Structure 1
């Protein structure tokens, strides 16, 4: 009878304990701590191509096609009392030759001259003018090679400076007229130089200095503009400084190699476009390669589903006062963080039904590309509730199982991030500005629990080239 009474008491106690629902208060979550990335300066190489065709066209307009003596063919040019002449000079097509930073403009000139002479004494004519003699008519126009040399440089304020030098005309044919019986080519060349100097002055006035700063400001603004990376976030190049590496000419283009120091980052939320003036070009140390930080999102709901799928139904048996206790995982849900530790809600059934909360530290293992919640322990309020109602649940077996299952392979996430960033780098930003780059590898630089997601700060390095073409002078 006594044994029956004891058994009945134990049964009643078991029923009473089973009927108790364990429901400790939810931990107070910390405000999300999300430090700004300490981003090193990256080196971007930008070949800027400036089309020189407009300059060539302008040069063709500015350099006259026909030079003549004043009021040719009606009036004469008279040097002293005894000589008079008049001439016509026409130029052939301009030929452009580029080498390094020097532009040569040359053309073939064709001229003809008519003149006559008379005898003079003390500056007074004593005979009439002889019949006019000519050169370059019947035997064909006389030829002379003419040209300009233009030294091109880029100043730190993005002004293209063109220093124009007139070359000495090079006569290919001599011109001898009957009335002199001597070579009068130097007379023609002297007159030609004066005309060419006028053309040189016109070129310098129009193109001696060309301001490219508005173009560089447009480029600077575009690099500060955020671009969506396949809904992964917003890429912003964040330019810092500009360096002019080299300047040269190729074919019909002025090619400027620009080094850009930048701090590129991909953010969750769209940042505002920065409006800052483009700084003057400066010298700064070269950093090889390109680095980008990307803040990736791992949604708590998705992580919770993965963890629940792995742990739901796991059962443990405990003994308490010779009575077997059953614990069965129903659900494990990530909520947020407190004191830089992830907070998880665990729902269970078995001998008791209810909920408790655990915390753990998220760690990333680079060798396996795995995120794991480690050092899992009961939240302090859950500890108190369990100790009062079901202290047998306060077990390392449970927390160890959670730690074992709270493991996430980030290989696919990082691979997708790398693919998305590469796709965004290799595209046309605006007309005439095209990117070409490759993120070689991507790794995790930090894990930051937020209110509704786990922030994974990824770091990638590689090469990036930004090509700017079609800027006109």
Structure 2
């Protein structure tokens, strides 16, 4: 029996050496991900300026459509001895004259003028008919009231193409002195007709609300990350209307909430019945908006995998290499799972709070530490790996840039500021300036960095239907 002892001792020594040369195994408990619902985050109120510009040509076209054919009719000759019908003879032209609308209306008039008297029940009348044509020139003061462009029109002149005449006792007698008093009778009618036509053609409410409804419909910022931006109007402001060159100008502004949501397309919060137009004297020319840079956990892990590539952590003969990185959310913290090989094999778990570095535009993890069970196991099997120096080196690679996400979010917003047409004849253009980081929020799918954006927006109306 004693002859076998050296052999058994040799086996024991070999086993011990083999044991010493084999990597330690670690099987730490996995911190299971939790649900970070709800996936909706309200930002502070934003302000969007919407300077509206409308070509006078569009006002002219709309007015010609509304005011057409027979524009005035008086079939009662008994009250003032005059019957009159007036037609628009040719298209109306509308131009700017010293900040007022100048309207030129070619017209045709059919007039019956009755001369005579009624004595002892006997009518002694001579009725004459005139077919005349001329041009009426009107000017209008412009104001904006309750979403509508209101005008106060005044007839400035009436120029007949031919002097009106009638045969009296066998002679052609000029009767302009008879016709011009008649003009005074229908003057106010023409003025009111022009005002009514312009008001109807330039009722901004349907157009503004239709454009706002389109703007406020949730639009997808990223299909891959299922992120949506929803705009909910709070108040609408407007300055007085002014004419400049061949364009009608009006500054409008919208105070609103911009909500970023992740998931399926949300419902619109637009309610036209609750929108009130408030008059103001001045509106800032800047837009202040909040966008979201969305980073899915898979995307963040992919970036961090590149950070760890080719790196070893430890000292001397005790080293590990990170093979794979996964991250998820738990209890308002990020869990970072590192699959390691080397002196220690297995998965180690770290936890920390996501933060943002304004200078480098990187997400990093503050107060990064090993999860409790991971730390306990490392203290027993690989104390060197649990030391702060190694942890700090690991932490340096647990970061990633969100510049691509910022650019993607900015580009998505830019698409809505580059001749975007929410409805026929309405075009939105603008630009964005600097980006300012606001905060980081976690969902069960992604890390969302909220960014404040400044810029300008302009809405023009060209070819309004």
Smaller-chain TM-score bracket: 0.7 to 0.9
Instruction: State how 1:135-214 maps to structure 2 within 5 Å.
Output: 146-156=136-146, 158-167=147-156, 169=158, 184-196=175-187, 211-214=203-206
State the TM-score, normalizing by the size of structure 1: 0.73
CA–CA distance in 1 between the matches of 2:297 and 2:334? 11
Structure 1 residues 69 and 452: CA distance shift in structure 2, 3 A: closer
Residue of structure 2 in register with 1:299 after alignment? 296
CA contact (8 A) 1:105 1:147 kept: yes
CA contact (8 A) 2:164 2:179 kept: no
User: Number of matched residues?
Assistant: 438
- Deviation track 1:44-65 (CA, whole Å, cap 9, x = no partner) reads 223153533232244342336x
> Does residue 1:417 correspond to 2:414, yes or no?
no
Shift of 1:277: 1.7
Structure 1 residues 363 and 332: CA distance shift in structure 2, 3 A: farther
Residue of structure 2 in register with 1:75 after alignment? none
Shift of 1:177: 7.4
Shift of 1:168: 6.3
CA–CA distance in 1 between the matches of 2:301 and 2:172? 107
Larger Rg, first or second structure (1 or 2): 1
Shift of 1:94: 6.1
Residue of structure 2 in register with 1:247 after alignment? 241
Structure 1 residues 221 and 176: CA distance shift in structure 2, 3 A: closer
Shift of 1:464: 1.5
Structure 1 residues 109 and 59: CA distance shift in structure 2, 3 A: same
Instruction: State how 1:66-465 maps to structure 2 within 5 Å.
Output: 93=90, 96-99=93-96, 100-107=99-106, 146-156=136-146, 158-167=147-156, 169=158, 184-196=175-187, 211-229=203-221, 231=223, 233-248=227-242, 255-264=249-258, 267-269=261-263, 270-278=265-273, 279-283=275-279, 286-312=283-309, 314-316=311-313, 326-426=318-418, 427-465=420-458
CA–CA distance in 1 between the matches of 2:221 and 2:286? 21
Residue of structure 1 in register with 2:4 after alignment? none
- Structure 1 unaligned blocks of 5 or more: 72-77, 80-84, 319-323
Shift of 1:282: 0.3
- Structure 2 unaligned blocks of 5 or more: 1-8
> What SS class does the counterpart of residue 51 from structure 1 fall into?
helix
The structure carrying a bigger strand percent of its residues is: 2
Instruction: State how 1:11-50 maps to structure 2 within 5 Å.
Output: 12=16, 15=19, 18=22, 21-29=25-33, 31-32=35-36, 36-49=41-54
Shift of 1:204: 6.4
Shift of 1:25: 1.0
CA contact (8 A) 1:163 1:208 kept: no
After superposition, the CA RMSD in angstroms is: 4.7
Residue of structure 2 in register with 1:74 after alignment? none
Shift of 1:42: 1.7
CA contact (8 A) 1:362 1:374 kept: yes
CA contact (8 A) 1:32 1:450 kept: yes
